[in-house]
């Protein structure tokens, strides 16, 4: 029961943070780059919400089974996965839209990437604290 509540807290944090990040980046983007495509903006936000959900869920699931050294490897694996999937997403943009709007797209994408990286780091710290708390309970 407690692990389900913890997982629900992580997911809620991702969604709430994602909406706040989306509002912040949206306000800045539409003020400075009013010609930026709203469809791509929503696509980027959706991409990061889904990616973060999957990565944090994966880390949370592995955190119940793995040792601390293995968890560090899982954290690094999530970073590699995120970079690879991000490059594929940017590549899809280039194939569909061409290179004309690549600079604003990458600027918006990087803003989302960095802000979600901050949220992801906070969530990984929460997972570590949760693991430590559970170990102390079991001892």
Where do runs of H (alpha helix) occur along the chain?
A: 2-32, 38-63, 68-97, 102-138
Length of the chain: 139
Copy the structure tokens of residue 16. 């709430």
Least confident of 19-23, 44-48, 64-68, 116-120: 64-68
Confidence of residue 3 (pLDDT cuts 50, 70, 90): low
To the nearest 10 degrees (0 to 180), the angle between helices 68-97 and 38-63 is 160
Predicted confidence (pLDDT) per residue in 13-52, tens digit: 999 999 999 999 999 998 988 888 889 999 999 999 999 9
Confidence of residue 1 (pLDDT cuts 50, 70, 90): low
- Of 22, 31, 51, 37, whose CA–CA distance to 97 is shortest? 37
User: Half-sphere exposure (CA, 13 Å, Cβ side) for 32?
Assistant: 11
Q: What is the pLDDT of residue 25?
A: 94
When pLDDT is averaged across residues 83-106 and rounded to a whole number, the result is: 92
């Amino acid at each position: 029961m407690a692990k389900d509540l913890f997982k629900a807290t992580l997911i809620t944090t991702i969604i709430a943070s994602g909406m706040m990040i989306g509002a912040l980046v949206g306000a800045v983007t539409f003020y400075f780059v009013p010609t930026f495509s709203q469809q791509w903006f929503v696509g980027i936000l959706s991409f990061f919400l889904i990616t973060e959900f999957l990565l944090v869920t994966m880390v949370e699931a592995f955190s119940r089974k793995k040792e601390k050294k293995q968890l560090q490897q899982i954290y690094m694996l999530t970073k590699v996965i995120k970079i690879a999937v991000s490059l594929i997403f940017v590549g899809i943009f280039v194939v569909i839209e061409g290179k004309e709007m690549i600079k604003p797209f990458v600027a918006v994408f990087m803003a989302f990437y960095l802000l979600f990286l901050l949220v992801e780091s906070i969530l990984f710290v929460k997972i570590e604290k949760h693991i430590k708390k559970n170990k102390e309970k079991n001892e």
